[in-house]
Structure 1
């Protein structure tokens, strides 16, 4: 059964020029603005870490007219399986440019790309909240159009191609083809396309509205050991609901209302403290991306009139860490799809008091408390396997048994906002009879 949850866009695009005002040279002069009808806006990533935006077609001109299924087409392999799709965040990785004989290579590239993503905090700490599914899209030819140059054309399952919109590192894809393959996985919360190429590049489609529940697609080069950073940045949008912290020199001064995103603001540090708004709880703290949290001018594509929390987090340029407000938002995003506690024993089932019960706490440091009809069984605190005879009761008040509840809370210091704390607590209950 598919989770009825929403997930924003994942991962966006890559190009060979930077656009940040403070980034290396090669700036894009103007904000592309909203994509015109039928087209979609994507982010563009430079090899030097700079990020920009472009408007692209969702249809690939290189998607060949061929049978929808080749030998072994669409087979699904679990690369990481930590539990049920109802309790985990499910990442679907689809390969393109891999022939039937290269599917083992695809799975290896997909696993390596997930390792790149999950090595970055807070993914590293929360990696047990994820399932990762590899979907085999079999291509007629090996490789990707546009690699090594514009003249190279390949017949592939998803029609991926470099030189999209004349940007060499922008790796576009056919959105409907991706949708067909993503539907083969048990659940899709995040979708990543891994291309059979060592050329640095990628793309992300944040305007996709999928009936499967995800709202975006990202593409990366499977054989490039730096392209995983593209995926990390894009999940800042999809999971963290974070804004971009980069800006365009020619964009002028922001004149709008206070942005909804948690990592950009029109407020100075003094106003944040006075109004107890945005990232005021983090002000002055040392951030993992370097320096201390404050209010740095420029963000959300505007060089003035808006502030970002730190000088240069991964939401501003690649190769960086999430800043403290960003890390908090990411953890909250993980818990929109995953839970703090799971068990192989179905919740709300009836158990005999002569048996035992085991629960799993996927995140290190999670606290666990047990309750019998609302009364805490303090002697069981922190124990993940308990004998049901620990109640010391043969039957409930009316001889029908007791309701046993396990409550797990993630006490992470990386989430300070009280409004986000409830999502860090989960519970499971069962009936226990004598």
Structure 2
């Protein structure tokens, strides 16, 4: 794989003209700068509403100036921007959010309302716009539930220069023009002032991991990758079960949504303020921690830890969620969602299906000729093996958390962590060996078990980086979809 040089940069980017493309719509309605609309998303499973926070003007526009309307039809929500005078739709973007996940939790279903901070990033409008928000109904159709007129000339829009003396920006892999590239920013979390060199090393390592994986490898010229470092007071992040809490730049934490390995942050403003130092389409949060964990929310952000044995997998798997809207294909792990995929409805995600219409399965064009639908795969034996490990894994993690709470010696804690890592690796190898022996391994069909659902939900191939841990590729369906997403960011 290509070896990448890291150099500190000042963010001033030469914009390459795109005379071969139609920029008439962009030039009519927008200027080449960014508007960030911050708002609060409030509610529960039944009710939700939006209140505006602040609006910012800064930087150049990172996205495509040609592909202004989102045609992916993914995400629970969609930001829509209309020209106020004509009512014409001039920009849209589908996404998921932390609130969208919260409302599927037991607390959300029980009517406990909660507030989350979110941001809409759009090209800066020339004239007054309507900022509208759509959400999905029970049949997956979008409907508008919020709208507000915004005047880009409003004197209360924040126009401060983006600067922070503690922040350092790195050019990890740049092909220049952000309009014609998918622009990725990797934010450092939990790196102290003494761990700057580790951030640089990690940034270089994971940039190489990214471009070692298809379809990113063959499309390296369609990406820009930046790193943004700001020192945290403490190293690592919060581990609530272990009663360990750290003072960090982005306030990330394990045990988000009650899931021991799920890492998110509710400090959206801190994330967006740090990311604003570069033009970006997608956000990685690189968490300086040895414990396994991560998370990814579509067109929101993704997180991963840097120093565990499955770090490459985490880095690529979570980005599959946040960049491409891919679903988790596994189903045996505990999650805190209730009816994440409602029974009887076809999921929006491209890589799982409820098989409501087998003759017209969504990846019909990629099916292995003559494959049986649904596709047999000795599921019962796999279930027995994996559910057993999941139960054992939970107990081992509880024990380690207890040792940390009791402030046992580093040697005792490390012994427990090493024992877990060893068994986790052994189980991963066992799963890999078991799947590879199946007669339908490597074929595209419809394999039952996907999207946190053991029965009635199907994935395209037996294995994929969205299904199991370890060194493995995206399945053909996932890879095909990722290519479509990449093209949305190019002109």
Question: Which TM-score bucket, shorter chain as reference?
Answer: 0.5 to 0.7
- Tell me, what secondary structure is at the counterpart of 2:217? coil
Superposed CA RMSD: 3.8
Pick closer, same or farther for the CA change 1:89–1:242 going to 2, 3 Å: same
Counterpart of 2:176 in structure 1 is 83
1:305 aligns with 2:484: no
Counterpart of 1:279 in structure 2 is 363
Gaps of 5+ in 2: 1-59, 65-69, 71-92, 99-103, 117-161, 372-434
1:93 aligns with 2:186: yes
Give CA-to-partner distance per residue, 1:174-217, whole Å, 9 cap, x none.
322111101111x21111111222222223344xxxxxxxx311
- The alpha-carbon deviation at position 170 of structure 1 amounts to 3.0
- Tell me, what secondary structure is at the counterpart of 2:261? coil
1:3 aligns with 2:62: yes
- The alpha-carbon deviation at position 244 of structure 1 amounts to 2.9
- Tell me, what secondary structure is at the counterpart of 1:107? helix
- Tell me, what secondary structure is at the counterpart of 2:221? helix
Give CA-to-partner distance per residue, 1:356-405, whole Å, 9 cap, x none.
xxxxxxxxxxxxxxxxxxxxxxxxxxxxxxxxxxxxxxxxxxxxxxxxxx
Structure 2 contact 63–182 (Cα < 8 Å) conserved: no
Pick closer, same or farther for the CA change 1:164–1:240 going to 2, 3 Å: closer
Task: Give the 5 Å matches for 1:209-358.
Answer: 215-247=299-331, 255-267=343-355, 271-272=358-359, 275=360, 277-284=361-368, 290-319=441-470, 320-339=472-491
Whole-angstrom CA distance in 2 between matches of 1:307 and 1:167 = 24
- The alpha-carbon deviation at position 266 of structure 1 amounts to 3.9
Counterpart of 2:227 in structure 1 is 134
Structure 2 contact 446–461 (Cα < 8 Å) conserved: yes
- How high is the TM-score relative to the length of structure 2? 0.49
Pick closer, same or farther for the CA change 1:112–1:162 going to 2, 3 Å: same
Whole-angstrom CA distance in 2 between matches of 1:152 and 1:91 = 31
Pick closer, same or farther for the CA change 1:297–1:164 going to 2, 3 Å: closer
Gaps of 5+ in 1: 13-30, 41-68, 207-214, 340-434
- Tell me, what secondary structure is at the counterpart of 1:262? coil
Structure 2 contact 297–321 (Cα < 8 Å) conserved: no
1:154 aligns with 2:246: yes
Whole-angstrom CA distance in 2 between matches of 1:160 and 1:255 = 33
Structure 1 contact 169–202 (Cα < 8 Å) conserved: yes
Task: Give the 5 Å matches for 1:92-111.
Answer: 92-111=185-204
- Tell me, what secondary structure is at the counterpart of 1:134? strand
Pick closer, same or farther for the CA change 1:204–1:237 going to 2, 3 Å: closer
- The alpha-carbon deviation at position 157 of structure 1 amounts to 1.3
- How high is the TM-score relative to the length of structure 1? 0.55
Pick closer, same or farther for the CA change 1:183–1:303 going to 2, 3 Å: same
Counterpart of 1:355 in structure 2 is none
- The alpha-carbon deviation at position 168 of structure 1 amounts to 4.0
Whole-angstrom CA distance in 2 between matches of 1:137 and 1:237 = 25
Pick closer, same or farther for the CA change 1:253–1:231 going to 2, 3 Å: closer
- The alpha-carbon deviation at position 333 of structure 1 amounts to 0.9
- The alpha-carbon deviation at position 77 of structure 1 amounts to 1.3
Give CA-to-partner distance per residue, 1:209-231, whole Å, 9 cap, x none.
xxxxxx31112122335223223
- Tell me, what secondary structure is at the counterpart of 2:324? coil
Structure with bigger gyration radius: 1
Whole-angstrom CA distance in 2 between matches of 1:247 and 1:39 = 29
Counterpart of 1:202 in structure 2 is 294
Whole-angstrom CA distance in 1 between matches of 2:108 and 2:211 = 31
Pick closer, same or farther for the CA change 1:225–1:134 going to 2, 3 Å: farther
Whole-angstrom CA distance in 2 between matches of 1:243 and 1:218 = 13
- The alpha-carbon deviation at position 299 of structure 1 amounts to 2.6
